[in-house]
Chains A and B, each alone.
Chain A
C-alpha cells in the first residue's frame, strides 16, 4: 500500500475530517481499503473513527442508489463474524450497528442478525453489546427476541463486558435486565465506552445505575 494513502487516511481519521476522506474513498478505492484496515487498529481513536467513516461511506453509497454495494459490504462483515477459515472481524458488529444508525431502513434484518452473530462469540460479544447500545430503542424488539442469550452475558466475569452490557440495556430500555443491573450497582471496576465520539469512563456500578434510571424512565415509572 502506498505510504501516502496510509498517511492521509490516518491523518484524516485522527482529525475526524470525514468529508474529504469520503471524497478520496470515492475517487480511489485504495483509500477505502485503508479505512477497512483501520477497523483492526489497536489505536482506539483510529479504530472508532474508521468505523464511523465506513458507515458514512455506506450511507453515501446508499443514498446514491448503490444499495447492492452496501449490502455486499454488510454481508462481508457478517462473513467475518462467522468465517470458518480463521478470520475475525473485530469491529464488525460495531460497524454494522453504525451503518444501521446511518441507514435506519436496514435495521430489519441486519439489526437482529448483528445480535445473533455476536452475542455468543466471546471475542465479538463486546462489539455486539456496543451495537445494541448504539441502536438503543430501535433494536428493542430484537433484544427481546434474544432475551435469554442477552441476559446470559451477565454471567461473564469480564468487567468490560458487564459495563458495556449494563450501558446497552439502559439504551435499549430492556426491562428484564433490571434485576441483573441491580446486582452490578456496587461493582467498582472502571469501564470505558465510546459514546457519541467520546470515550466515557465510569465504574460498572455507575453504568448499571444510570441504566436502571433509563429503563425506569422508559417505562414511565420515574
Chain B
C-alpha cells in the first residue's frame, strides 16, 4: 500500500481477520430455524393490518422481511439474544401506529456513544415506551464499510451474527454514507458491541455528528478499467490519516470525502461529498480505430452489451456518440473517430458506449471539487470544480496539504451546522481560492457557462471600480 521503506503503522498491522467459525454466535440450526408454514402462521402481537396491506403490492415489502426476522427471533429465543426477542414485533407495532395517526413517534437523536469516540452511534428513542418497551432504545451503529465494499462471506456472516445478538437483527446495507448500519441496539449493549466489532471483525465504527464521515470509494482499479487513480488506496490512506477527525468531532458539522476513480462518478461524490476526488486525465483519450470499426460493424456490442432484451436497432456512432457529445468535440467520417481533446469536458459518454475503442488518457490523476450537500441551511448543491488536476501518488502529500488547509480554515470560519459548501457560498469562492492558495483557472466551473471563480480586485483594474459614465459614453455611445 505504501512506498517501501515509508510504511505506516497500519500497513504493518496483521490484517487477517478471524474466520466465521472462530467467532460465530449462532449455529446453523439457529440460523435456519423456521419453515415457510411457520412464517405464514406468524401473528404479530400488535394489530398491523395496514402494514400487511402493503404486502399485497407488486414490490418486495419491508413488512414481509420484518415478519421473517420476527419469526426467526422468536425461535432463537430470548436466552440466546441480548436484545428483546420481540423487538421486531414492537417495531411493526409502532410503524402501524404512525400509519394510523399519520405522525411519527420516533424522537430525533439522543446522546449515546462509546468511550473514546465522539461519533459512530446515533441514539434513537421513541415517545411510546410504555406501549412498546422492546424498542425503548433503538440505536443505530455505523460500522465502517470495507474499501469499495469488498466483503468476504466470513465477514458478512460474522457481522450478521453480531447484528442479531446485540441488535434487532435488522441492518442497513448500506447507509447513504456507505456505512454498514446495525439497527436497534440498547445503550448497555453499545460497549460490548463495539468490542465485538473491533476484536472479532477487525472493523471500526464509522463517522457521525460533526466530524469526518466514513470516507467511501468506488471499486477503482480493483476491477474497473476507467479508474484514473487507485481509489481504494487513497480512501484507505486518508481514512487512517484522519482518524481523530473521524472519531472525535471538532468540526462545525459533517464533512465527507468520497473517491470516484473516473468522471462516471459511481459513488456520486459530485453530489454528496464536501470534498470530491474524481479521477481524470491530462492527455488525450486513447482511440483504437480498429475497435471503432468493429463497433460500427456491429461486431462489438455498444455499452458493454448493456442494451439487450429487445431489438434496439443497429448501432449508429454518429447518432449515439458523436451527436450526443456535449461539447461537440468529436467527428466520425465513417472510418475513423477524431477528438478535439482540448474541448472534452470528461462526460465519459463516448468511453462508456465504446469502452473497447476509447480509453481514458494515460496521464492520470484526479480533480478535487468542494461543497456538495443535501439541503440543510441552504438548498442542495453540487460540488464545484476547484482543483482541476493533481497526481494521486502515495504518500499523497499534496492532497493532504489541501485537506489540512480546508480543515483549518473551515473549522475556524464555519458556523455551527454549516457545511463547507455553505461556508464557501457565504464568504465567496474568491476567498476560498485565496485560502487554498490557488489562482483562478479556466477549468473551474460550477456549471456550464457559469464561472464564479474569476474575479477582479479593485487594485487590479485600471482606474479601479469607480468610473465616469460620461467619459465612458463619450467613447461608447448608446
Contacts and interface: CB of A to CB of B under 8 A. Distances in A.
Partners in one complex: yes
Interface of A: 1-2, 29-30, 33-34, 36-37, 39-42, 72, 75-76, 79-90, 121-124
25 contacts: A1-B242, A29-B412, A39-B248, A40-B116, A40-B118, A42-B116, A76-B210, A79-B210, A79-B416, A80-B118, A82-B109, A84-B110, A85-B210, A85-B254, A86-B140, A86-B142, A87-B118, A87-B209, A87-B211, A88-B112, A89-B118, A90-B115, A122-B187, A123-B112, A123-B113
A123 B111 contact: yes
Interface stretch (B61-69, B119-127, B194-202): B119-127
Contacts of B123: 86
Contact of A41 (B116, B140, B208, B416): B116
B248 A84 contact: no
Given A29-B412, A79-B210, A86-B209, A37 B112 contact: no
A91 to B, nearest CB: 9
Interface centre among A34, A37, A86, A122 (most CB of B within 10 A): A86
Most buried by A among B113, B122, B247: B113
B40 to A, nearest CB: 38
A83 B254 CA distance: 12
Interface in B390-433: 404, 407-408, 411-412, 416-417
A33 B112 contact: no
Given A1-B244, A29-B411, A29-B412, A85 B116 contact: no
Nearest to B250: A36
A86 B122 contact: yes
Nearest to B109: A84
A81 B408 contact: no
Contacts, number: 93
B249 to A, nearest CB: 5
Contacts of A123: 111-113
B332 interface: no
Identify which of B249, B408, B417 gathers the most chain A CB atoms within 10 Å of its CB.
Answer: B249
Given A40-B248, A87-B210, A89-B118, 4 more contacts: A1-B241, A85-B210, A86-B120, A88-B119
Contacts of B247: 40
A75 B245 CA distance: 19
B223 interface: no
B117 interface: yes
Contacts of A33: 250, 407-408, 411
B210 A80 contact: yes
B473 interface: no
Nearest to B247: A40
A68 B197 CA distance: 42
A88 B254 contact: no
A191 to B, nearest CB: 17
Interface residues on B, range: 35 or more
B108 interface: yes
B369 to A, nearest CB: 23
Contact of B111 (A29, A36, A82): A82
Interface of B: 108-113, 115-123, 140, 142, 187, 208-211, 241-242, 244-245, 247-250, 252, 254, 404, 407-408, 411-412, 416-417
Contact of B118 (A72, A75, A90): A90
A87 B408 contact: no
A78 B208 CA distance: 17
B209 A37 contact: no
B404 to A, nearest CB: 8
Contacts of A79: 210, 416-417
A87 B250 contact: no
A78 B187 CA distance: 21
A124 B209 CA distance: 16
A84 B254 CA distance: 12
Contact of A124 (B111, B119, B248, B254): B111
Given A1-B242, A85-B109, A88-B113, A80 B249 contact: yes
A37 B416 CA distance: 18
A34 B407 CA distance: 12
A32 to B, nearest CB: 9
Contacts of B416: 72, 75-76, 79
Contact of A30 (B108, B120, B408): B408
B330 to A, nearest CB: 46
A34 B113 CA distance: 21
A114 to B, nearest CB: 14
Nearest to B120: A86
Contacts of A87: 118-119, 208-211, 249
A188 B230 CA distance: 58
Given A79-B416, A84-B108, A37 B250 contact: yes
A36 B210 CA distance: 13
Contacts of B404: 2, 30
Contacts of B417: 79
Contacts of A83: 109, 111, 209-210, 249
Contacts of B142: 86
Nearest to B121: A86
B118 A88 contact: yes
A85 B408 contact: no
B90 to A, nearest CB: 22
A85 B208 contact: yes
Nearest to A122: B187
Contacts of A76: 210, 252, 416
A72 B116 CA distance: 24
A122 B191 CA distance: 14
Nearest to B210: A87
Contacts of A81: 111
A37 B247 CA distance: 9
Contacts of A42: 115-116
Nearest to A124: B111
Most A CB contacts (10 A, CB to CB) among B121, B209, B211 go to B209
Contacts of A30: 404, 408
B41 to A, nearest CB: 39
B208 A86 contact: yes
Contacts of A122: 187
Contacts of B118: 40, 80, 87-90
